[in-house]
Chains A and B, each alone.
Chain A
Amino acid sequence: DIVLTQSPASLAVSLGQRATISCRASESVDSYGNSFMHWYQQKPGQPPKLLIYRASNLESGIPARFSGSGSRTDFTLTINPVEADDVATYYCQQSNEDPYTFGGGTKLEIK
């Protein structure tokens, strides 16, 4: 199974600053020139919400403050600038290989 390791487990960022979350895969999640890594946001009491698909593509309706980058085994979610509404837990997920797996989550708080 592909293990996804997120770091940090939690971070506190001031409003208007940049937040950077890392996701490292135990093996490549690239196939056919695409990286099958996705990012989700989950607020308390709500289901996860897709933010970024295939590493760097912004899902429809998601603010451009969110961006994703990376390939093969190293991926990053960036939120810039951070707003109060961004308080949530963020998860990465790979769909390159069965079984699909998720990272352990990164909790974002406002400093």
Chain B
Amino acid sequence: EVMLVESGGGLVKPGGSLKLSCAASGFTFSSYAMSWVRQTPEKRLEWVATISSGGSYTYYPDSVKGRFTISRDNAKNTLYLQMSSLRSEDTAMYYCARQDYRHGGFDYWGQGTTLTVSS
């Protein structure tokens, strides 16, 4: 059974940093591109970052480029998201998601971890 378990969320002050983790199991982690997707309090879904299966390539939308860094450790079956210069608009539930290489959709999602950016 595919499982993705996020951790690391919390309350951070504006300008602060935080690192999220996603532990993967039930599939060959090193064979899949992985992504982070967030859901705002208004329930809007936003793609945050994607990393290739081997970790060589990363992709970000302009809203987080330069502030967020996605990485992975295939030996530990773990995905990470390092977030810095956090803003109130980064407040959201952050989901780890597996990306299906056939079509680019997200076929498995974790339960999410919540980030709140507030003073």
Taking beta carbons and an 8 Å cutoff, which residues of A are in contact with B? 1, 34, 36, 38, 40, 46-50, 53-54, 57, 59, 89, 91, 93, 95-96, 98-102, 104-105
Beta-carbon contacts under 8 Å, B25-83 to A: 43-47, 50, 59, 61-62
> How far is B104's CA from A54's CA once the two chains are assembled, in angstroms?
9
Residue count of chain B within 8 Å CB distance of chain A: 21
Closest 9 CB pairs of A and B: A95-B104, A47-B109, A38-B105, A99-B61, A102-B45, A100-B47, A53-B105, A53-B103, A54-B103
> How far is B76's CA from A89's CA once the two chains are assembled, in angstroms?
34
Taking beta carbons and an 8 Å cutoff, which residues of B are in contact with A? 43-47, 50, 59, 61-62, 95, 100, 102-107, 109-112
Name the residue of chain A whose CB is nearest to the CB of B43: A105
Q: Are A101 and B107 in contact (CB under 8 A)?
A: no
Which of A47, A49, A89 lies at the interface centre, i.e. has the most chain B CB atoms within 10 A of its CB?
A47
Contact A104/B44 with A36-B104, A95-B103, A99-B62 known, Cβ cut-off 8 Å: yes
Contact A49/B109 with A54-B103, A98-B59 known, Cβ cut-off 8 Å: yes
Q: Are B103 and A47 in contact (CB under 8 A)?
A: no
Chain B residues whose CB sits within 8 angstroms of the CB of A59 once the complex forms = 107
Chain A residues whose CB sits within 8 angstroms of the CB of B103 once the complex forms = 34, 36, 38, 53-54, 57, 95
